[in-house]
A and B are shown apart, each in its own frame.
Chain A
Amino acid sequence: MALDLQDMADFLKQTPPFDALDNARFDYALDHAEAVYVNQHNREEILREGHPTLYVVRSGTYDLTDKHGKFIERLETGDVFGFPALLSGRTITNQIEVLADGILFCWDAATFAYLRRYSEPFERYFMQAQERRLLVEHRGEDSTPDWTERDIGSVISRPLISIGSDTSIQQAAISMSENKVSSLLVVDEGHLRGIITDRDIRNRVVAKGMDYGVAVTAVMTQMPEAVYTRQSLFDALTMMNQANIHHLPVLDDEERPVGMITTTDLMKQQRSEPVFLMNALFKAQSREALVEEAQNIPHYLRTFATRVKDIGMVGRLLASLTDGMTRKLIRLYEHEHGAAPVAYAWMAFGSQAREDQTLSSDQDNGLLLADGVKEGQREYFHKLAEFVCTGLADCGIRLCPGDVMAMNPKWNKTSLEWQQQIKKWVQSPTPDAIMHSMIFFDSRMIAGNQQLYRRHREAIGKIAQRDIFLGNIGRHIGELNVPLGLFNRLRTKSEKGGDYIDIKTQGVAVINDIVRLYSLIEGLTMPATPARLQALQSHKLLTAKDNQNLLEAWQFLTQLRLSHQLRLQGDSTEPVNSIDPETLSTLQRRQLKAAFSVIKDAQQGVGFKVGRGL
């Protein structure tokens, strides 16, 4: 008999997962409920009683925190909590902060178990909620963000200084000196047309003896790279480094220019290591000087990692630094041996391309040459490649054991040769071919001719869109080993005298593989896994939820790997990509399981979507 608690029934009928219970279970839930009044004075004694309890917020506002007081979730009317302890049988460690007193409905473990046993939707709700919770629970919200995480909009203080495109070069120079700036935006009717810097005036006007009366359009940089006010300073920093520029126009959400951000602005923010480090790398005048500066990178990264909330930024920073060193080495080589005889593009592959590089990542790169290159001209590029690859190795980015490097003639080809190579991989997908193509399809241009690279990347993207090839990749993914055994147990492997799980090969790489496959199907050319997932949001291959889960699993695993590596000392014999689950906290272990179960689901999803029709 369910009592006539109409208000409670009305409320619960609208509250998942109770809304999914059939009438009999719903009445059972009503019959077995308690209510508790929670405020700042009694919250501790309530949770201290220690019985795992399922709570539903009827009224009031609370913040769920972990035992260190780290924010996990804001709880308001209709929110459900308390289930992690119920599901795991472990002691309750989370706490609540009471923002507004109120009523919680509660159910004891026996009732919770009964409802789970007899209602599948109820059970499913908590399994999924548990996974979601686990993946977000590690993320702290309370630490003050590092300066690099601040909005660009928050640091541009100067009003926009701009000129129209019909302004003469001399007028532009006058405007620069009056405003004491080294660059101007060229803006027509609120649209950004270009940017002109004092260097442009020196190099393109004075040095060439050009007439000062000519309009700035003749010498400005058209359609320059730009950033948006909502992006972080770190984004500005990476873009400056990647494009090798010191001035970036800043646009608002409607693409209207609102100002300029410069390397000087970034340096003013703080005595910031990344900026200084990048500048030191830029300024190195010789290979030796570059190598010497590069020795500081691991130390910089460690201190940087302790300050940023999003440790994934370390991967981006390291990729950005590798980009910068690569460019510097290329420039040093060009300085000594003259400009390249034909157009080319230096491509980064793998983790550098995806910007999830770690301290243990080796180099993966290649060269793309314009089709007209003559045999005698190839020598220039082989020597360039050797100079850059060994230079990077001396800078701490070790040589690729699999020889995926521009100094290997197999990874130093013209666009047509590359296309033939890829066609071969696509047509006869041996395991080696699949592995190589996977490396190749995560690519990013580091230096050289942008147009050459873009055309090439689109061409090979089309070659890859063959069902049989994609099907083979799908099958390959299906065969990858996710270390989750029966009853959701973590499966470890003995390695170097310990029991480890390889979170790179069995975790991060599997997600990368899955996301790359979907990107190939959809013809997406960007290499970074988070960016690909974001782009995939507008496609149907992944549901919004699966997309989000994969992203969270990827973030969790990459962060876990990075923090593990940052903790390892230089002389440690521990494996760099493997983790002994016993060394993790209970929470991290549960998160690890959740991440692997997300991967396992996604792996099965690939089987359904790509395996079919073969």
Chain B
Amino acid sequence: MNPNPYPKLHPGLNLGPAHGVAHEGSEAVLFGFWIFLMSDLIIFGILFATYAASTGPMAIAGGPRPTDLFDLVSVSIQTAFLLASSLTCGMAILAMKYGENVSRVKLWLVVTALLGAGFLTFELRDFASMMAHQGTPMRSAWLSSLYALVGLHGLHITMGLLWILTMLALIQVQRLSNKVKTRLLMFSLYWHFLDVIWIGIFSVVFLAGLV
């Protein structure tokens, strides 16, 4: 059963021919955005590799170790927030794609933003409690690479929140114009991409660090 026989114009989310010009017009933009995300992926990849190479006793340098600092409950809450926000982000796209229901798109975007903000709150709380236990990035190479990797992801989430606010304002002004539709698709690619990166972070950093 596959009711989506129409051509895709670029990898990932597509609007579908029902959207005419917006569908065609998004081709180069979204493909370009994919390329940009791949470049971002390399940045994360290098930070992952640096982190993986900085977990030995030399890099910990007598400072706090993962077991001293990590809070698995908080990490699981963050994971739940982010996964839920991925789902609601998808719902926002469906609301746009089918029916072009402006208020539903906005509602789902607001829910996504709230979930993202929840993620960020717990992440910052974790950072604060780590720092209270000598876990500052200046303490050791391991902590430097930890903060760089997790912090960069958090920075991306922060930018994502800013992006959602901008999109809400943009939808207010321009409704679901062709450009807004393309931008929403871009945002959803970005947001799902961040969730994929987070899978790597909680597995490599937190779970593998505590096991």
Q: Tell me whether A and B are bound partners.
A: no
Instruction: Identify the B interface with A (CB < 8 A).
Output: none
